[in-house]
Structure 1
Amino acid sequence: MATGIREARAEDAPRVARIYVDSWNSGFGDLMGTVGLDDDRIRRWENDLTSGRTRWWVAETTTGRIVGMVGVGPSRDPVDPHLGELDTIAVDPTYWRGGVGSALMRTALASLAESGYREAVLWTVAGYTRGQAFYEATGWRRDGGTRDDGRQLSFRHSLRGVEVNVDVNPGKP
């Protein structure tokens, strides 16, 4: 189980990319096709983790192994200054149902609330029942939005009353 959450750093990119690929393939590879891990994907993740558009965290075990990640930022679809977005949340499949995703979600929601957003949106794959059940268990509700010819569904989460004092290690080197 993860024992700490800290801000992500550029050097986390190889492990973050691996978690993303493994989580994607295990979670909805059968719905969207599987993806692979290569140098280009790792470089894209390094850029994403450091670009500043999205704020990223990783969950670590006591031995320093990264086992999950989450990113939040301003909503991209729809564009709305009062709407934040859960960009990505992914956990190493061997750590599913161990509390890692819930801890990352609390961090994400707290950050969105602290940033002044009133509500948050996320997009997920239609038919991804495991993920949808997780989102609903953490307070997200379907809002009826779709995109990509119905292959993606949107969920919303009110940020009113979300606790913003989540203890997060800033991960300073």
Structure 2
Amino acid sequence: MAYDRYMAICKPLHYGSLVGSRACAQMAAAAWGSGFLNAVLHTATTFSLPLCQGNAVDHFFCEIPQILKLSCSDAYLREAGLTAIGFCVGIGCFVFIVLSYVQIFRAVRKIPSEQGRHKAFSTCLPHMAVVSLFVSTSVFAYLKPPSISSPSRDLVLSFLYSVVPPAVNPLIYSMRNQELKHALKKLFQLSSRSN
């Protein structure tokens, strides 16, 4: 998304040649492939762990940090290494997104018309909102000190980064639709009159 927005705003005349169906297919394949590879590596390493503290995970989601708490083997170091690699890849993606948006905002500031700047920002802000929500909750979930960890807090954080962003994604992106905005205004006006 960040690359698409970058090309559309910063290089609009080259957009058609640089972001064609082949480029989109390659980006989708890279995203799916890297996600699949990451999942397979984590799953294989996690299933190879001997569990010496039972096999009951006190969590709603069966997440790697919860399983690592049950392990007492040297494979813990392998899994921690894989988690560190995943973190580095995630940070790399986040830095790419941030740099793309820095370039986008520089280009948008140069647009002379207010309407043009508003249109450019309205295409970027929903994506930034979803990415920020996902990254902030997942970073806090995995990088918080163990001293403030509790099963209920871990459950809430896991829910926030795994369920909330995909659930609010359609709502955030549809808020650009004028018909939906008009329908929501009518709904809120009717509800405020009935109260």
User: Normalising by the residue count of structure 1, what TM-score does the alignment of the two structures yield?
Assistant: 0.32
Tell me which structure has the larger Cα radius of gyration: 2
More strand by share: 1
